[in-house]
Amino acid sequence: MGDKSNMAATGIAPSLSKHTLERIGAEYGLAISQITSFRSVWRVKTNDGFKYLKRSKLNPADLIFIYEALEYLTSRTFCHVPRLALTKSGRPFMTDETGIYILTDWYFSKELDFGILMDLKQATAFLAYFHLHSRGFTPAIAGHDRIGWFSWPSKLELRLQQLQEFRRQALHEKENSPFSRLYLRHFEPYYREASNSCELLLKSPYPEVALVASQDKSFCHHDYSGRNLLRTTENRLILIDFDYCLQDIRIHDIINLLVRNLKHNSWNPRIASFILQEYHQISPLTEEELRVMHVLLNWPQDFWQVGLQYYYEKLPWPRERFLKKLESKVNARFIRSKFLREFPEKNGLYRW
């Protein structure tokens, strides 16, 4: 949705047929004159300005949830998100034999760079305002599967089982895989961390924190990163890509923001305290939330995730890429552990 280059129009983008493009134009009542591919989406020039077109991997129920969430934010005067365009039949997506498509306005913009302190400061404040405006959201479809308020204990228990499965697969292929040999070499300490995190969560004030969140009825973006936070040419911030949004405790988003920045700054506690203090100024965090945050930060997310990508998702990456990624995780283990030990005293808000 952000314009990152000066690419000229390239005609119909790869894998998008002229027939499908005509169907999209007809469904949305638009005359499409140009189309340019950007990453996995398209920018289309229409009689109503430039639009963002994406082939979605989500099902209709998920897209309706996202549409309702975005409309709710807009109704709460949070005009910093895109709005899914409606087709002539009133649906926030268009379907044909090639897939499901969504359409929004295109924003000429640049991605925020969290490595720049002012961008990080603005992103943190923006996240706090986003969470505040998301309160009170009740989706039309009852019993949808995008509720995570009380799910963390079962989620971590499942991931603990997945770690055991990753170990089994690593043992099976260790003779021919440098990745698996390295994974096994570091498995036990990470597994202890994971098991300990599960136990600590059950003893933490998590139920109370989840209950408050469920009563607030707020939701999380769930992929809060610089690439999804744009600064437009009018100097407005726009949060895009709500594919993973769900109703969950707000510290889920805050933890993601913390980890994204900590792992690129040698797990410096000053970065964490900066983010937490900036957020707290706008939307105060409770000590109970910080205690639960500490428990969830103890979960070895990176070690579990690289195992998931290698053994389960089997991403089509070169083996060298997997190995380098795992090496970077294990090399940061000791500075991460030091950060976690110090977090109760150096988080910048509470001490325990």
Of the ranges 24-28, 32-36, 168-172, 297-301, which one carries the lowest mean pLDDT score? 32-36
Question: The tokens of 230 are what?
Answer: 């744009």
CA distances from 71 to 64, 144, 300, 306 (A): 10, 17, 36, 35
Closest to 5 (Cα-Cα) out of 28, 30, 38 = 38
Q: What is the pLDDT of residue 17?
A: 86
- pLDDT > 60? residue 5: no
Say what percent of the chain tops pLDDT 90.
92
Domains of the chain as residue ranges with CATH: 18-106 (3.30.200.20), 117-346 (3.90.1200.10)
**Residue 261 — very low, low, confident or very high, per pLDDT cuts 50/70/90?**
very high
DSSP code string of 82-121: --PPP-TTS-SSEEETTEEEEEEE---EEE--TTSHHHHH
Q: Are strands 109-111 and 32-38 parallel, antiparallel or unpaired?
A: unpaired
**Residue 16 — very low, low, confident or very high, per pLDDT cuts 50/70/90?**
confident
CA distances from 350 to 6, 223, 291, 342, 347 (A): 48, 27, 9, 12, 7
Closest to 44 (Cα-Cα) out of 68, 10, 15, 79 = 10
Question: The tokens of 352 are what?
Answer: 């325990």
Each residue's pLDDT tens digit, 82-96:
999 999 999 999 999
Inter-residue contact 133 to 77 (CB < 8 Å): yes
Inter-residue contact 30 to 46 (CB < 8 Å): yes
Q: What is the pLDDT of residue 6?
A: 30
Q: What is the pLDDT of residue 144?
A: 78
Q: What is the pLDDT of residue 1?
A: 59
Average pLDDT over residues 6-22: 62
**3-class DSSP assignment, residue 134:** helix
Find where tokens 């988003």 sit: 253
Considering Cα of 65, then 71, then 75, then 79, what sign does the dihedral take? positive
Average pLDDT over residues 275-293: 98
Q: Which amino acid is at 30?
A: L
Residue 39 CA neighbour count, 13 Å, CB half: 10
pTM for this model (two decimals): 0.93
Each residue's pLDDT tens digit, 286-313:
999 999 999 999 999 999 999 999 999 9
Question: The tokens of 227 are what?
Answer: 């690439």
Q: What is the pLDDT of residue 39?
A: 84
Average pLDDT over residues 181-200: 97
Would you tell me how many other CB atoms lie within 10 Å of the CB of residue 39? 9
